[in-house]
């Protein structure tokens, strides 16, 4: 690990100011993704601003009938919240499908949104990777790509966003709230938060340097039945090959987003409008224009089958 | 470890990776990543926390993980280093009552915290009920993962009691139960190479029953 200096911030704008002003500075929350990557020197911050003392630890009711989740709320706390379990079951389900009990105790809401890809070439500093080192090429294109994106990638990068909780946030139309070093706040719809890689795979999200996530806001509950179907290589404690987050209404309409398939939680409004016509209609539209590799083409039928299972459970 | 990357590639990458990390300990130069700042230049910081009821004040290189602080500085070697990447659970300790992976946390992030390690749960003369149940049910073979398993198991029963939901619950709005399926799911962050899983789940169910 490269050496770094460390401090604990006591207010959000000050934390943002320090990170914006100091090249190579980063926030640290739970540390479960950042430290992992620092150990192998994929991340090499020179200064860490620990945000654990900030007053962003609560889940509050909003005037609009929704919830405002502090950026530091742990995955465990979020999944266990009575209101989340009752009204946003898809979020509890997605959150407890991720990582392990130990990790969820530390993983923060903001850190989970910002976790980096699990592309094996990104982790292996001996290999080319445009995301880790812009301009070096992409080891995964033409390489081993079983886990990687089937849609939304570019000729520079075909990595996926690996997380679970944000797939549910996408279905719920959550909004990410931030603050910058000048104290300015902005609200970013989750649909716009993660980027498609294009020519700049090194940039995962639309956040600016030093911009601090303060909250994630959920609109009022959707009703319906909530599902998170995660398909992985073992029954627990593995990243998704494909996941489906869905809220299905009694009349068969609903919302659906896919995880493990694209650089961001993948939700296509025209596709979910086809839910009453069945899973195959939805996935045909959702994955229209997909460019799978021979290693990961299995994800397309797998996504359909996962959605078949969700729709069958919704009818049961 | 490879389960969190890509089976095919990462096995190769991982073997290369572990060779490289052994090399780093023995030789100053390696091609992958240059040696970091010399020890003398590394930023040091004071930190104070309580381990098993005893206060400790340390001055540490900021890079020191909680795991290394416990093992290398406080010589509490019960907590084990397995993968050092949060993937195996051998380093599980309790911080303010919650289980975490000590390897993915910096020691300096724990100012003022109360840490419990396997050494603080029970003693050879007065075993914690979970330790006794692991012995009774043969919840281990080589024993390397056991301290992490036991710390995790103790926390799991508290988590179920607190109503924290899990992936195997059909109704996440309801109360979780002390079933074998719950134990297995909730213990999935603790890998046992000897495969003592079913005995571990039995030990946990016995302790849960005794307490429930
Ligand atoms: C073995 C293993 C298995 C895993 N399995 C899964 C899985 O199955 N599903 C899944 O979804 N996840 C999984 N994860 C990932 C885990 O969910 C993330 O590591 C965790 O959510 C990151 O949260 P954190 O608070 O620890 O982030 P940190 O590591 O502290 O930070 C991550 C990033 O976010 C930035 N950051 C943190 N807080 C803020 C803020 N408030 N504003 C702006 N930037 C911020 C940091 O600078 C850093 O770049 C796994 C991780 C491990 C190690
Ligand atoms: S897919 Fe992206 S992350 Fe993976 S090697 Fe290519 S550029 Fe790097």
The pLDDT value recorded for residue B3 is 55
Residue A239 lies inside a defined structural domain of this protein: yes
Show the tokens assigned to A162: 């690996």
Question: Is residue A6 within 8 angstroms of chain B, CB to CB?
Answer: yes
Could you tell me the residue range of the domain that residue B185 belongs to?
Answer: 122-212
Claim to verify: residue B127 and residue B87 sit in the same structural domain: no
pLDDT digits (tens, 9 = 90+) for B101-127: 999 999 999 999 999 999 999 999 999
Nearest Cα residue in chain B from A86: B173
B92 and B131 share one domain: no
CATH number at residue A309: 3.30.390.50
Segments forming the whole domain that contains residue A246: 225-315
A35 close contact with B: CB closer than 8 A: yes
Within 13 Å and on the Cβ side, how many CA atoms surround B79?
Answer: 33
* Domain stop point among B72, B102, B121: B121
User: Which of B89, B121, B153 represents a domain boundary (last residue)?
Assistant: B121
Tell whether B176 is covered by a domain.
Answer: yes
Nearest by Cα to A95 from A165, A147, A34, A23:
A165
Q: Which ligand is nearest to the CA of A36?
A: 1
Residues B201, B148 share a domain: yes
Q: Is A301 on the interface with B (CB under 8 A)?
A: no
Question: Is the same domain home to B84 and B149?
Answer: no
Cβ of A101 within 8 Å of Cβ of B159? The answer is yes
pLDDT classification of B12: cutoffs 50, 70, 90? very low
Same domain (yes/no): B207, B146: yes
Cβ(A31) – ligand 1 distance below 6 Å: yes
Question: How many whole angstroms from A62 Cα to the centroid of ligand 1?
Answer: 26
Going by their DSSP bridges, the two strands A67-70 and A47-50 should be labelled as: unpaired
Q: At which residue do the structure tokens 């009575």 appear?
A: A82
- What is the total count of domains within chain A? 2
CATH code where residue B207 lies:
1.10.150.120
A-chain residues within 8 Å CB-CB of B61? Answer: 3
Alpha carbon of B212 to ligand 2 centroid (Å):
50
- Tell me the CA–centroid distance for residue A258 and ligand 2, in Å: 20
A2 → closest Cβ in B36, B92, B163: B36
Ligand nearest to the CA of B86: 1
Number of domains in chain B: 2
Do the domain assignments include residue A213?
no
Within-domain flag for B71: yes
> Which of A97, A129, A122 has its CA nearest to residue A241?
A97
Asked if residue B127 and residue B170 are part of one domain, the reply reads: yes
Q: Which two tokens stand for residue A56?
A: 């962003």
Query: What are the helix (H) ranges across A40-189?
Result: 75-80, 82-87, 89-96, 101-106, 109-113, 120-123, 165-171
Residue A65 lies in a domain: no
Question: A156 in a domain, yes or no?
Answer: no
The CA distance from A21 to the nearest CA of chain B, in Å, is 20
Alpha carbons B88 and B190: distance in angstroms, whole number: 5
Q: Which of residues 151-180 of A touch B (CB under 8 A)?
A: none
**Best A101, A237, A295 residue to mutate vs chain B (most B CBs within 10 Å):** A101
A118 neighbourhood in chain B, CB within 8 Å? 4-6
pLDDT in tens, A161-190: 999 999 999 999 999 999 999 999 999 999
Which tokens is A198 given? 């294009």
Span from the CA of A30 to the centroid of ligand 1 (angstroms): 7
Q: Using 50 as the pLDDT threshold, list the residues of chain A that sit under it.
A: none
Q: Domain boundary at B76, B97, B121, which?
A: B121
Tell me, yes or no, whether A46 lies in a domain.
yes
Tell whether A233 is covered by a domain: yes
- Nearest CB to B9: which of A86, A144, A239? A144
Cβ–Cβ of B65/A41 closer than 8 Å? no
> Which run of H or of E encompasses B22?
helix B7-26
CATH assignment at residue A12: 3.30.43.10
A27 CA closest ligand 1 atom index? 47
CB contact under 8 A, A80 and B163: yes
Q: Are residues B189 and B107 in the same domain?
A: no
CATH number at residue B81: 3.10.20.30
Q: What is the pLDDT of residue B28?
A: 34
Q: Strand B98-101 vs strand A25-28: parallel, antiparallel, or unpaired?
A: unpaired
Residues with CB under 6 A from ligand 2: A 117, 119, 121-122, 129-131, 138-140, 148, 157-159, 201
- Its pTM stands at 0.94
- Residue A133 has which token pair? 């080192």
Q: Residue holding tokens 């509050």?
A: A60
B8 inside domain: no
A308 within a domain of the structure (yes/no): yes
CB spacing of A85 vs B173 below 8 angstroms: yes
Q: What is the DSSP letter of A274?
A: T
Per-residue model confidence as pLDDT tens digits over B167-198: 999 999 999 999 999 999 999 999 999 999 99
User: How many whole angstroms from its chain centre is CA B3?
Assistant: 18
B179 and B212 co-located in one domain: yes
Domain assignment present for residue A310? The answer is yes
Whether B94 and B143 share a structural domain: no
A293 CB near ligand 1 (under 6 Å): no
Q: In what order do the strands lie in the sheet with A254-259?
A: A225-231, A242-248, A254-259
Atom of ligand 2 nearest to the CA of A149: 1
pLDDT band at B210 (very low <50, low <70, confident <90, very high): low
Whole-angstrom Cα distance, residue B63 to residue A42?
A: 15
Q: Do A123 and B164 touch (CB under 8 A)?
A: no
Q: What is the pLDDT of residues B23-77, one digit of tens each?
A: 333 333 333 444 444 556 789 999 999 999 999 999 999 999 999 999 999 999 9
Q: Which residues of B touch A127 (CB under 8 A)?
A: 13
Spatial separation of the C-alpha atoms in residues B121 and B9, rounded to whole Å? 40
Distance from CA of B23 to the nearest CA of A (A): 13
Q: What is the pLDDT of residue B41?
A: 76
Q: Average pLDDT, whole number, for chain B?
A: 86
pLDDT of amino acid A315 = 96
B211 and B130 assigned to the same domain: yes
Centre of ligand 2 to C-alpha A126, Å, is 13
């Amino acid at each position: 690990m490269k050496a770094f200096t460390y401090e604990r911030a006591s207010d959000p704008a000050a934390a943002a100011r320090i990170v914006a002003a100091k090249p190579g500075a980063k926030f640290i929350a739970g540390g479960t993704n950042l430290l992992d990557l620092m150990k192998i020197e994929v991340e090499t911050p020179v200064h860490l601003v620990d945000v654990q003392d900030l007053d962003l630890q609560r889940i509050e009711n909003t005037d609009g009938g929704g919830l405002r989740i502090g950026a530091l709320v742990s995955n465990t706390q979020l999944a266990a919240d009575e209101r989340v379990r009752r009204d946003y079951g898809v979020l509890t389900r997605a959150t407890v499908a991720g990582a392990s009990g130990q990790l969820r105790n530390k993983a923060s809401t903001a850190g989970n949104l910002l976790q980096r890809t699990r592309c094996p070439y990104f982790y292996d500093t001996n290999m080319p990777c445009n995301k880790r080192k812009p301009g070096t090429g992409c080891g995964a294109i033409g390489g081993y790509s079983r886990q990687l994106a089937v849609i939304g990638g570019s000729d520079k990068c075909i990595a996926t966003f690996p997380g679970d909780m944000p797939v549910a946030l996408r279905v719920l139309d959550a909004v990410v709230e931030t603050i910058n070093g000048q104290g300015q706040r902005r609200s970013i719809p989750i649909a716009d938060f993660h980027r498609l890689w294009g020519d700049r795979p090194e940039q995962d999200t639309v956040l600016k340097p030093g911009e601090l996530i303060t909250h994630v806001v959920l609109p009022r509950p959707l009703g319906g039945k909530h599902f998170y179907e995660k398909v992985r290589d073992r029954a627990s404690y593995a990243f998704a090959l494909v996941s489906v987050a869905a809220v299905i209404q009694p009349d068969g309409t609903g919302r659906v987003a896919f995880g493990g398939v694209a650089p961001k939680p993948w939700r296509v409004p025209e596709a979910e409008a086809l839910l009453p016509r069945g899973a195959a209609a939805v996935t045909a539209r959702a994955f229209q224009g997909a460019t799978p590799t021979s290693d990961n083409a299995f994800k397309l039928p797998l996504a359909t089958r996962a959605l078949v299972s969700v729709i069958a459970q919704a009818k049961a | 470890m490879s389960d969190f990357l890509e089976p095919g590639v990462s096995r190769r990458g991982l073997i290369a990776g572990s060779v490289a990390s052994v090399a780093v300990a023995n030789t100053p130069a390696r091609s992958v990543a240059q040696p970091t700042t010399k020890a003398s230049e590394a930023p040091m910081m004071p930190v104070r926390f309580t381990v098993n009821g005893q206060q400790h004040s340390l001055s540490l290189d900021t890079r020191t993980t909680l795991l290394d602080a416990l093992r290398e500085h406080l010589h509490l070697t019960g907590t084990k280093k397995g993968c050092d990447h949060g993937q195996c659970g051998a380093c599980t300790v309790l911080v303010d009552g919650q289980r975490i992976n000590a390897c993915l946390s910096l020691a300096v992030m724990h100012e003022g915290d109360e840490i419990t390690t396997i050494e603080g749960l029970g003693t050879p003369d007065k075993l914690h009920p979970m330790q006794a149940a692991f012995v009774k049910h043969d919840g281990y073979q080589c024993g390397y993962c056991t301290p992490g398993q036991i710390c995790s198991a103790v926390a799991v029963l508290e988590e179920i009691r607190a109503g924290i939901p899990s992936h195997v619950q059909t109704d996440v709005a309801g109360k979780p139960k002390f079933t074998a399926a719950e134990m297995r799911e909730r213990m999935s962050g603790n890998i046992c190479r000897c495969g003592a899983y079913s005995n571990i789940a039995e030990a946990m169910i016995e302790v849960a029953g005794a307490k429930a």
